[in-house]
Chains A and B, each alone.
Chain A
């Protein structure tokens, strides 16, 4: 394994009891990724509860999770194949813990959607798939699990595959692979199944190895949201992470929202001399003029600069436990920008599982609903459409110190 190959982060999602934790256990087991004492701990904990060894306990580590046999919160863990290393993000399948699922999925580069072939597409299958689409996760592997329960039937596989494909198409997800699997018995996970000779596609491990790491935004026009300003000796260092493009010494840049022009005088990294910083880098710059700068400003350059506006259209996913009434003020956070805003109009209120429109021009959003909304911010913010630049096209809404919704910008 080459050390410069990046670990790939993927999330496993799907309806409760469709086999997420069993699949994870199987992946660990078949790739020999378990430490001896970890396995001992799981065996002992299973025995204490009078059960067979539960693979699920590898990630379900909270006492409540083990006793009740559910996953409450997302967890992350590691395994590797011959090709590369992986971070598995486990996500709970219960309706009550959708916000934990979103937390997990938002950190992934790819997703595995698991469906019990005997039960077909269920409420959380659809909701989770919609969340993947909303988060912009384009690499999706669909696993039809529990093939052993349907006698490894090709017809049953094809039937559920068609059902899943139809739904995924409606939310613009084109899955890369559909794989018939029995996670509990190990069919088509690491080893090709002897029970399904009719299937000539990839195993789960092979399909994971076929995924790509997320491409960096390095080739786009430069964007650096200002995170903080430090006074170090005589220097005023503007600290932040480059979210797109490359910032170089001597480059002419614009500061939003003021629109002031300046030039990058130097790139500042501790004990390191460099003339440029690229997308993904936490860095610092100084400017050639004493331009006014503060946290939340956006430094940019070149074509396709962010749009400065106080109103835009977005899709939001409401995950707080309380309803949201559209008269309430709420705080919007996009990159390092933070500003009070109002939802001017809830154009449509939708069920996040069926995607049915519940109401048009609604006054309220309820937990786990999706709203197509018009947002009005108190002052102008620098944003882009999610499809153009994710980092300036997504935001959260915060009320009473809590993140209540995630949103993506569809029109500016």
Chain B
């Protein structure tokens, strides 16, 4: 079995496993390349029709291309879309200029808390990958969060032979990470192979492109002339810059990602 097939089959197994065990599940869709790939895999796992909702955490600071893409494909793929926005925090004036830890925590983590409570979800699919960040490299495929959303990274459950943490206490929820073993280049090669639609922010315009997307306020484009998927793949083969180098929230201070994640961030 070839490399991409191996990854695809493993991810589909995990997606089906989580649904079979938890039923009350939802998928986080940031509209970025990873979660769109995840969504594509879920469509394959369930023969085109997702048996659970897809959730977009809308901070209000996203690129307009993201909103357009979301609405177009939510319709085309018949998604049950939940848009979750922490309007109270926005009204209070929470913004990235006033502190990124607070901004990410309020507009993403707390918006997510609210949505999980409302939907009574037991498990959430996320498109994070080990090669994105050293902290994410420590993750499990099935990773529990307690009632305060905390990730107990010092005491993670054993995970062997595709036997996952599929039993959880009522107050916990499980983060399911079907793409954990994929690398950035695998995602792009799979997008090319499957012809998955992707937001055009990833493709170079005027000598720059976004390698990782999120809020317009906290994403910086990288120097690049890669305006096609083929060129992006070629670029990644030689690049010495890491993927999230343009993401401000990872960098505000040392261990920022660990702090964010231990509070329930993705």
Contact = CB atoms under 8 A, between A and B. Distances in A.
Contacts of B156: 73, 100, 103
B242 A38 contact: yes
Given A64-B154, A106-B161, A403-B163, A227 B258 contact: no
Given A36-B241, A37-B241, A74-B138, A280 B131 contact: no
Contacts of A7: 3
A5 B6 CA distance: 12
Contact of B240 (A3, A35, A72, A396): A35
A102 B46 contact: no
Nearest to B258: A63
Contacts of B154: 62, 64, 72-73
Contacts of A295: 20
A241 B130 contact: no
Contacts of B131: 77-78
B119 interface: no
A103 B142 CA distance: 12
A335 to B, nearest CB: 8
A64 B157 CA distance: 18
Nearest to A80: B237
Secondary structure call for the A interface: mixed
B44 interface: yes
A106 B160 contact: yes
B158 A103 contact: yes
Contact of B134 (A61, A232, A270, A278): A61
Contacts, number: 142
Contact of A282 (B13, B130, B158): B13
B2 interface: yes
Interface in A357-412: 394-396, 398, 401-403, 406
A319 B156 CA distance: 13
Given A36-B240, A37-B245, A63-B258, A239 B44 contact: no
Contact of A35 (B43, B160, B242): B242
Contact of B9 (A37, A230, A281): A281
A216 B130 contact: no
A6 B134 contact: no
Contacts of B258: 61-63
A406 B161 contact: yes
A78 B3 CA distance: 14
Given A6-B3, A6-B6, A280-B1, A103 B241 contact: no
Contacts of B133: 61
B102 interface: no
A401 B142 CA distance: 13
Contacts of A398: 167
Contacts of B16: 227-228, 239, 282
A48 interface: yes
Contact of A227 (B20, B44, B239, B240): B20
B50 to A, nearest CB: 12
Interface in B129-158: 130-131, 133-135, 137-138, 140, 153-154, 156-158
B105 interface: no
A6 B2 contact: yes
A25 to B, nearest CB: 13
B138 A75 contact: yes
Interface in A293-332: 295, 319
Given A62-B153, A78-B131, A270-B44, A103 B159 contact: yes
Which residue, of B3, B131, B163, B240, has the highest number of chain A Cβ atoms within 10 A? B163
A290 B149 CA distance: 44
* Best-buried of A281, A394, A395 by chain B (most CB within 10 Å): A281
Interface residues of A, number: 60
Nearest to A66: B255
A78 B131 CA distance: 8
Nearest to B242: A35
B254 A406 contact: no
A74 B2 CA distance: 26
Nearest to B9: A282
A401 B167 contact: yes
A230 B3 contact: no
B48 A45 contact: no
Given A62-B138, A282-B45, A241 B9 contact: yes
A237 B45 CA distance: 11
B187 to A, nearest CB: 13
Interface string B37-59: 00000011111110000000000
A403 B254 CA distance: 33
B169 interface: yes
Interface in A64-111: 64, 72-78, 87, 99-100, 102-103, 106-107
Interface in A218-262: 227-228, 230, 232, 237, 239, 241
A166 B183 CA distance: 40
A58 B135 CA distance: 11
Contacts of A403: 157-160, 163, 165
A187 interface: no
A116 interface: no
Nearest to A227: B16
Contact of B137 (A6, A75, A107, A406): A75
Nearest to B46: A230
A60 to B, nearest CB: 8
B12 interface: yes
Nearest to A216: B1
Nearest to B241: A35
A-B complex: 6 closest residue pairs judged by Cβ atoms? A61-B134, A106-B160, A401-B167, A282-B12, A75-B137, A35-B242
15 contacts: A4-B3, A5-B3, A61-B135, A61-B138, A73-B156, A75-B134, A228-B16, A230-B46, A237-B47, A239-B16, A269-B44, A271-B44, A271-B48, A281-B9, A406-B158
Given A62-B138, A227-B17, A403-B163, 15 more contacts: A6-B3, A37-B242, A61-B135, A72-B153, A73-B153, A74-B138, A76-B181, A102-B160, A103-B140, A241-B13, A268-B47, A270-B44, A270-B48, A282-B45, A401-B167
